[in-house]
A and B are shown apart, each in its own frame.
Chain A
């Protein structure tokens, strides 16, 4: 991989204003003197501009009055009970909630197996645990089955933010 190929991702971050100031300045200097990176910059800017123009032009055709009438109509209309029920059930089975369900199900199965295999309470080294490993929703589930010497380590991130119903955990008060 050439030096310029390795910079491709950074050029995007630079155009997005997401590089630290010192790196941003270095990138500016490099792009100004490098034909390959300068061409990449132009391509990325053209993609951004074209897509932005397309979406803006379509949105400009959208009139507020009929849009608002339809929103009002939905607010006023009472939805059938089964639609409400389906929505409630769907929200229970969102991806973010199922992220917890998988290790929980494995733990239940292992727990059940250990109970049925050793009804007399024979001491084993089976182990199951779920721990949070940082403040960003990353978790680790550790499952160990003694007889077969099977160990499962499950690293996953709880995508709480994807759930529009999720409790907001950041500081209270307006952020805008």
Chain B
């Protein structure tokens, strides 16, 4: 457990301090949100209808951004070889990396989204659901993303490759997350999409570390 905590702490610090880290994905998220009114026009009713989906699309893209630094630097400087030798099972190594990525991207995005929500004139009543759904869903996004990052660890400059691998697999999160938020805005029940979202995230948290560990194990030779 101590190793797990140390690894988690190390990765979070690396995520915050490295260029292309937490600040970048938060800034990217905010930029997508800010660009939307510039593209669609300042009509508040139009912005209100697209806001739930847009926040979620922005979250999908922004969590994608930090994935390259989850495994790749460790693979390049040899940290990964040491991690393989450590007593911590690779599944838990992967889980630590998932949490670290989530803290430096999903968590920050979830805290940022309520502040940005008025800019797209999202109903105030939908803001708690927005934050909650992002908080839950980004955990699944980080999980699937980390598995893909482990697969692509041997790809040079694999950013675009990662995007193509990850985005189709993340569609369920987009669907459930966005409809929870638009449900909250319309005043209908949000528990069903939120529960599906939670289920998808939990499943991703099981499959993600296993797949990531398998990928890390298979790439050693």
Question: Are both chains from one complex?
Answer: no
B residues with a Cβ closer than 8 A to A are none
Tell me the A residues contacting B by CB distance below 8 Å: none
